[in-house]
Structure 1
Amino acid sequence: MTIIVPTDFSDTANNAARYAARMVNGTYDTTLVLFHVYDKSEDATQVAENLDLLKKDLAALVPVKMETRTEQSTDFINSLDRLARHLAAELIVMGITGKSKIEQVFFGSNTLKIAERNVCPVLIVPPAAQFTQLKNVALTSDFKDVAHSIPVVPIRKVLQLFQPSLHVVNVNSEHYVSLTEEFLAQRNQLTEMFQEFKPEFYFIGTYNVEEMIQTFVTDKNIDLLITVPRQRNIFSSLYKTSTTRKLAYESPVPILAAHE
């Protein structure tokens, strides 16, 4: 497995790199690629030295295979997109921080933009997150055409690394006493898709989706939240959708964005 960890050497990026290193500790055939995009104002030699220093710091934490890559460019997103496709990366790990609008524009936008590109799953790491274990993973689903909308292969690859308990949650204002036949059929399909993880299902009726998901994460001791952005859904209007901002910026646990 190839995992790209972009860095600008900030505290947020360094924390995401530490999370990634600890996450893959003990796994086989996994390589972390530390990647920095720099412009003409930066010295290429200094950039290489900073990357090597980060690599040494991570190696002191855990034994993990690592490579470093740099590119001079003014377009970080396109550079990261090209590298991910060239390496056939299976995951990108990035930090995110900032609850003020200014911080969100300068620190958070790149993380959300690369998630929108759908080149591979993106693990969004909150600034205070520290990897300890992945025992409980929550998968959010709208239970609509799950056979085609849920990217089973990339999600299973992550789950197989840790063998966690899988909690599938649907938050919907239209849930009443019993589930419709359609919801039951979709649940059966999801059970079959992830049968080795023995998924448990939760159907919650509420209008406040993001708040209920946060409560669910806390109540169930969730270590990782998996979302499946649709092209005209969660990431389609990055700065207009309050649910997106709240999930990405306020989640206490990392979010794995895996596109359909």
Structure 2
Amino acid sequence: MKTILVPTDFSKNATNALNYAAGLINQIGGELIMVHFIELPVTPLDGAMIVTPVAQLAEEYHQELTQQADTLAKQFSGNIKIKAQCRFGDLLTNLNILIKNYNIDLVVMGTKGASNVLYKLVGTNTADFIKIANCPVLAVPDKAQFTGINQIAYASDFESEESIFLQQLFAFAEPLQAEVAIINIIPERHLNIFSDNHVLREIKLQYADKKYSIAQIQEGDVLTGINEFVAETHPDVLAVSIHARSFLEDIFHKSISKSLFYQVQLPLLALPERTYWQSVFKPVTQAQNPLVK
């Protein structure tokens, strides 16, 4: 993990995510890239579509990015490498392209809203991007501060090809020397020992040299089981896999107003099923997506 990308809209939540990412990159080394996307406003005039000039606005945004970068560099005594960019276009359309072009290892984004990090994600750019991201995304709650990452809890349903996600997870954990706690919540109404034993055996064979533990917990429902594990062990980050059968999708479509899930300020690491190094994207020319600075 050498390059971290932080999209920002200069909001309080985005700035907090930027500070968290700076602390992370200060610990592991590498490069931090800040980016602000400028959506080009289009105004109809006599039936024609005219793009409103944005050069001055783009320059102002870039100056603000540069000021934030300078502030962070001073805060960490010049020990972190930071770049600041503005790009034209919307975030959801263009962020994956930028990730691939710059070989990004991790995207860090802020969350906002209620007292619950998953509730915060619903309906936000962070939630929308997590569903289509081509690299791991760390969603940082608005009050979370980076104080080191020593333990990562990874919630798995053991119903998918785990190696896809574990490779990404250990790539995140190893530079931090963090231990991974793999947790599998088994609903009381469902128990498939044969399938689970197969997955456990594969994990032990492939990752014998990694720092991890495995816990299988029988509980009435997945959310309750994860919530109890988090409350008891106090991990620094919770990781989840994003795939067609991801329990995270169920959470997005459930009412969780009565749940105590994630009332702690716990960052969420979302691991995609398909990363950009496994995919082929059509390159975008500078004319299609010009770089301002």
TM-score (normalizing by structure 1): 0.85
- Equivalent-residue separation in structure 2 for 1:221 and 1:191 (angstroms): 24
Q: 1:134 aligns with which of 146, 149, 158?
A: 149
Change (3 A) 1:170 1:106: closer
Structure 1 match to 2:37: 37
**1:8 is paired with a residue of what secondary structure?**
coil
Q: Which runs of 5+ in 1 are unaligned?
A: none
Of the three residues 202, 210, 215, the one matched with 1:202 is 215
Query: Higher Cα Rg: structure 1 or 2?
Result: 2
Task: Give the Å deviation of 1:222.
Answer: 0.3
Aligned to 2:48: none
Indicate if the aligned counterparts of 1:3 and 1:92 stay in contact, CA closer than 8 A.
yes
Match of 1:160 in 2: 174
CA 1:134–1:211: 2 relative to 1, 3 Å: same
1:124 paired with 2:139, answer yes
The 10-residue stretch of structure 1 (35-44 or 153-162) with the greater mean CA deviation from structure 2: 35-44
Which secondary structure does the structure 1 equivalent of 2:37 belong to?
strand
Residue from 215, 225, 237 that aligns with 1:224: 237
Q: Within 2, Cα distance between the matches of 1:173 and 1:247?
A: 18
Letter in structure 1 aligned against 2:176: F
Q: Among 60, 70, 85, which residue is 1:56 paired with?
A: 70
Counterpart Cα distance in 1 of 2:223 and 2:15? 27
Partner Cα separation in structure 1 for residue 192 and residue 121 of structure 2: 43
Report whether the alignment pairs 1:68 with 2:84: yes
Q: Is the 8 Å Cα contact of residues 237 and 267 (structure 2) preserved in structure 1?
A: yes
Contact 2:104 2:135 in 1 (8 A): yes
Query: Which residue of 2 is the match for residue 257 of structure 1?
Result: 270
* Aligned-pair CA distance for 1:180: 1.7
Listed one character per residue, the Cα deviations across residues 228-258 of structure 1 (whole Å, up to 9, x for unaligned) are 1112434557852447xx8997552111101
Q: Which residue of 1 aligns with 2:10?
A: 9
Q: Which residue number in structure 1 is paired with residue 202 of structure 2? A: 189
Q: CA RMSD in A?
A: 2.8
Give the Cα separation in 2 of the matches to 1:144 and 1:239.
19
CA contact (8 A) 1:112 1:238 kept: no
CA distance in 2, matches of 1:200, 1:105: 29
Query: What is the alpha-carbon distance in structure 1 between the residues aligned to residue 260 and residue 156 of structure 2?
Result: 14
State the match for 1:109 in structure 2. Answer: 124
Aligned length: 251
Which of 80, 95, 99 pairs up with 2:95?
A: 80
Query: Contact 2:109/2:137 (CA < 8 Å) preserved in 1?
Result: yes
Aligned equivalents of 1:250 and 1:82: distance in 2? 34
Aligned equivalent of 1:173: 187
Residues 124, 248 of structure 1: 8 Å contact kept: no
Give how far 1:98 is off: 0.7
SS in 1 for 2:230: helix
- Does the 8 Å contact 1:99/1:249 carry over to 2? no
Q: TM-score, normalised by structure 2?
A: 0.76
**Residues 200 and 132 of structure 1, relative CA distance in 2, 3 Å threshold:** same
Residue in 1 that maps onto 2:25: 24
2:261 and 2:242 map into 1 onto residues whose CA distance is 12
Deviation of 1:23 (Å): 0.9
**What is the CA distance between 1:166 and its match in structure 2?**
1.7
Q: Percent identity?
A: 27
Rounded to whole Å, the distance in 2 between the matches of 1:220 and 1:97 is 25
Letter in 2 for 1:126: P
- Which residue type is aligned with residue 125 of structure 1? V
